[in-house]
């Protein structure tokens, strides 16, 4: 039998006679029995709870009202909140501050930010003091749901009207860092100190993480040093974010030094620390070191996760230790960790690069039977593998299958196929696909697409069209990178166009790019062939200036530098490990700006030697002798070069 609102009149006296928890139990029982509550009965129950500071219970009750678990024909959630917050509602009957905080927190839990802010503003306008916990809950919620600007505005409008604590600042600093606005985060750090609060380890760690993600490693290291000056002890997360930041910037030595310091200070590495360091070892090709850390994790009782195994599997695959990688997958499953999409992508990529395409297809089918859906990355890996094998039938089938699954080919997919066509010397078909990609598929070519096409034209000696394509990059607001410049320089040198090559070398310098050894050497060679010794020596001087600059900077920078050969450049472009798969179904090219090979400017002495050799070979002995003097080569080096060209030069002194 359904109970009606008048029966709440008999329930209320019973609740009054009991302690708060017993009263709440009676209220909940009445809900189960089907009693239809009114504004008054809900308000009475809240008064009992709030008078005993049972804030969580009152919040839970209001949450049930908002979500509809408590409903009645006698009120709606909106009418109830209007009743509870109306000016005529007697403040003496209920703690208004606690009531508002319950209402605000219930709306935060219900993921209703606008309503939470509405009641927050109403609370402030009534001159009720908002506690830091309630304010912090609103800020956290807004930042969590990508409403940073709203959180920033609310903070600045309200900071003079609410009680703040160090956590309020910490929450907003985290939001600033996630939004990439480090300027605001440092403003907040200054405000913390002005208000007399002491920034804690969490705040400094958040700032260090933000600086690392923004690429400002110097600032991150300064913050880390300041922590120690203030007597704050970095925890495992502080160390991990800085170690990871150093690795991502290419500062491997610094990262490993910090890892050693972490252990010396007695800070036990976490799972994330181990994963970060193991990944770097694998990137360096030191898979054995990574496995030593893997064993250390087991000894220390640090549980591995799928990421740990994926790092090691990818490392083994890069070293072509494919069967060991498969065994590790078996070990992974025995440990109760299921291989995921990244695991299979790494294995498939490894077998494709190893030329074992049938095995790659077997793993592809196995992945699907286990309920894992292939991603765009999976298809791109297979398309790349079969394109290299010039198996156009399988490539076409893979493209068809991915489209049937609702996966649209990306610019990466098109670039892979264009590359295959270029390699098979089907340049015309490659350019047809390039035009289709833009006009039909609506995709804008990127720097890698241009690189593939320009290389194809340079190889064929079609520098006229290569130059047109090179210039068209500016129209698309794309800046050629080192690889493309080096391709063009090499192409012009093969053609014997010394001054065009020289102009591109100069342009690279103006843009802050550094030519590779082949570009310097080829340009010098073609200049010498034309008898332009002064220009050739000028190139060596440019190179020497670059060498001195690098020594002064003394920074281990990592750049995306490739050889003029497409096989090498494409290996750099489409190589790599787990990172490219983790965050997106398409390849993240930002990580590809970091080559795994350190940049080395050619040794000027070696280039002078090359110049002298060419001069001697061309019977330009005077030029050779002059270059020997200018280069300041030691006598033994000069004599050995001269003797190799003409034994009579032994009598001469440089």
One-character DSSP codes across 25-66:
HHHHHHHHTT----HHHHHHHHHHHHHTT-HHHHHHHHHHHH
Long-range contacts of 326-334 (CB under 8 A, 24+ apart): 332/306
Structure tokens at 107: 């709306």
Rg over CA atoms, the chain: 34
In angstroms, the CA 575 to CA 351 distance is: 13
Whether this prediction's pTM lies above 0.75 is answered by: no
Say if residues 376 and 345 touch (Cβ distance below 8 Å).
no
- Runs of H (alpha helix) within 89-131: 96-109, 113-125
Angle between helices 566-574 and 447-459 (to 10 degrees): 170
Which residues of the chain register pLDDT less than 70? 1-18, 88-94, 541-654
Long-range contacts of 261-267 (CB under 8 A, 24+ apart): 262/236, 265/234, 267/234, 267/235, 267/236, 267/239
In Å, what is the CA distance from 252 to each residue of 245, 374, 609? 10, 33, 33
Vertex 198 angle, CA 193 and 202, to 5°:
115
Classified as helix, coil or strand, 72 is strand
Say if residues 211 and 222 touch (Cβ distance below 8 Å).
no
In angstroms, the CA 244 to CA 251 distance is: 10
Angle between helices 376-388 and 411-423 (to 10 degrees): 0
Q: What pLDDT is attached to residue 550?
A: 46
Q: What pLDDT is attached to residue 21?
A: 83
In angstroms, the CA 540 to CA 546 distance is: 10
Q: What pLDDT is attached to residue 628?
A: 55
The dihedrals phi and psi of 507, each to the nearest 5 degrees, come to -65, -40
Name the nearest CA neighbour of 412 among 352, 452, 457. Answer: 452
Say if residues 150 and 142 touch (Cβ distance below 8 Å).
yes
The CA dihedral of 396, 399, 401, 404, to the nearest 10 degrees, is -130
Domain ranges across the chain: 1-128
Structure tokens at 284: 């360096």
In Å, what is the CA distance from 419 to each residue of 332, 566, 630? 36, 9, 45
In angstroms, the CA 570 to CA 419 distance is: 8
The CA dihedral of 230, 233, 237, 238, to the nearest 10 degrees, is 30
Classified as helix, coil or strand, 6 is helix
**In 10 A of CB 509, how many CB atoms?**
14
Structure tokens at 273: 């620390």
Q: What pLDDT is attached to residue 623?
A: 52
For residue 327, what are the contacts with CB-CB under 8 A and spacing of at least 6?
none
In angstroms, the CA 100 to CA 654 distance is: 91
In the beta sheet, which residues pair with residue 75? 72
The DSSP secondary structure of 186-254, one letter per residue, reads HHHHHHHHHTT----HHHHHHHHHHHHHTT-HHHHHHHHHHHHHTT----HHHHHHHHHHHHHTT-HHH
Say if residues 310 and 282 touch (Cβ distance below 8 Å).
no
**In 10 A of CB 276, how many CB atoms?**
24
In angstroms, the CA 413 to CA 523 distance is: 34
In angstroms, the CA 506 to CA 494 distance is: 18
Classified as helix, coil or strand, 258 is helix
Say if residues 26 and 16 touch (Cβ distance below 8 Å).
no
Let me know if 20 is exposed, middle or buried by CB neighbors in 10 A (0-12, 13-18, 19+): middle
In angstroms, the CA 599 to CA 488 distance is: 19
Terminal Cα distance for the chain, rounded = 116
pLDDT tens-digit readout, 580-598: 333 322 222 233 233 333 3
Name the nearest CA neighbour of 349 among 252, 448, 416. Answer: 416
Q: What pLDDT is attached to residue 568?
A: 33
Q: What pLDDT is attached to residue 42?
A: 85
In angstroms, the CA 443 to CA 410 distance is: 8
In angstroms, the CA 308 to CA 328 distance is: 11
CA atoms within 13 A of residue 101's CA, in its CB half-sphere: 22
SS (H, E, C) 549-605: HHHHHCCCCECCCCCCCHHHHHHHHHCCCCHHHHCCCCCCHHHHHCCCCECCCCCHH
């Amino acid at each position: 039998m359904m109970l009606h609102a008048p029966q709440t009149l008999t329930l209320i006296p019973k609740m009054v006679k009991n302690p708060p928890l017993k009263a709440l139990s009676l209220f909940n029982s009445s809900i189960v029995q089907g009693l239809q509550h009114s504004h008054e009965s809900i308000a009475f129950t809240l008064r009992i709870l709030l008078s005993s500071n049972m804030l969580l219970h009152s919040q839970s009750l209001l949450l049930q009202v908002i979500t509809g678990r408590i409903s009645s024909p006698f009120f709606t959630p909106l009418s109830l909140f209007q009743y509870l917050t109306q000016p005529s509602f007697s403040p003496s009957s209920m703690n208004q501050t606690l009531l508002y905080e319950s209402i605000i927190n219930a709306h935060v839990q219900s993921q209703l930010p606008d309503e939470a802010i509405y009641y927050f503003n109403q609370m402030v306008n009534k001159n009720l003091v908002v506690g830091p916990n309630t304010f912090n809950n609103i800020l956290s919620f807004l930042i969590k749901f990508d409403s940073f600007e709203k959180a920033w505005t609310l903070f600045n409008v309200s900071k003079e009207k609410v009680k703040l604590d160090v956590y309020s600042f910490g929450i907003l600093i985290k939001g600033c860092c996630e939004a990439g606005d480090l300027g605001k985060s440092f403003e907040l750090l200054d405000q913390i100190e002005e208000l007399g609060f002491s920034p804690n380890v969490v705040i400094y760690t958040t700032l260090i993480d933000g600086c690392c993600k923004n690429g400002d490693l110097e600032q991150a290291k300064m913050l880390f040093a300041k922590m120690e000056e203030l007597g704050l002890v970095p925890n495992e997360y502080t160390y991990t974010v800085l170690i990871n930041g150093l690795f991502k910037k290419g500062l491997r030595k610094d990262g490993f030094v910090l890892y050693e310091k972490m252990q010396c200070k007695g800070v036990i590495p976490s799972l994330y620390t181990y994963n970060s360091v193991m990944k770097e070892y694998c990137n360096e090709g030191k898979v054995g070191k990574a496995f030593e850390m893997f064993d250390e994790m087991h000894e220390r009782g640090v549980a591995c996760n799928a990421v740990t195994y994926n790092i090691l599997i990818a490392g083994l695959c890069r070293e072509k230790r494919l069967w060991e990688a498969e065994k590790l997958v078996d070990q992974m499953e025995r440990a109760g960790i299921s291989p995921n999409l990244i695991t299979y992508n790494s294995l498939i990529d490894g077998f494709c690069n190893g030329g074992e395409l049938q095995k790659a297809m077997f793993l592809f089918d196995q992945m699907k039977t286990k309920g894992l859906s292939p991603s765009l990355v999976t298809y791109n890996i297979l398309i790349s593998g079969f394109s290299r094998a010039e198996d156009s039938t399988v490539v076409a089938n893979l493209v068809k299958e991915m489209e049937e699954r609702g996966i649209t080919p990306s610019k990466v997919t098109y670039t892979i196929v264009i590359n295959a066509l270029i390699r098979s010397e089907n340049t015309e078909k490659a350019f047809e696909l390039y035009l289709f990609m833009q006009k039909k598929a609506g995709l804008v070519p990127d720097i890698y697409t241009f690189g593939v096409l320009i290389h194809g034209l340079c190889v064929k000696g079609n520098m006229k069209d290569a130059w047109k394509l090179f210039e068209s990059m500016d129209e698309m607001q794309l800046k050629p990178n080192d690889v493309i410049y080096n391709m063009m320089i090499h192409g012009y040198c093969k053609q014997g166009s010394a001054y065009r090559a020289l102009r591109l070398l100069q342009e690279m310098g103006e843009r802050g790019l550094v030519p590779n050894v082949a570009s310097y050497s080829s340009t010098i060679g073609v200049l010498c062939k034309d008898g332009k010794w002064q220009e050739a020596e000028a190139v060596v001087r440019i190179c020497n200036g670059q060498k001195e600059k690098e020594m002064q900077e003394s920074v281990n920078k990592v750049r995306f530098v490739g050889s003029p050969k497409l096989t090498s450049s494409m290996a750099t472009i489409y190589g790599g490990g787990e990172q490219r798969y983790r965050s997106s179904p398409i390849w993240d090219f930002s990580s590809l700006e970091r080559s795994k090979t350190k940049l080395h400017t050619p040794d000027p002495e070696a280039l002078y030697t090359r110049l002298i050799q060419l001069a001697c070979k061309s019977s330009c002995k005077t030029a050779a002798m002059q270059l020997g003097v200018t280069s300041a080569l030691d006598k033994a080096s000069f004599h050995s070069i001269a003797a190799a060209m003409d034994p009579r030069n032994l009598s001469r002194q440089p």
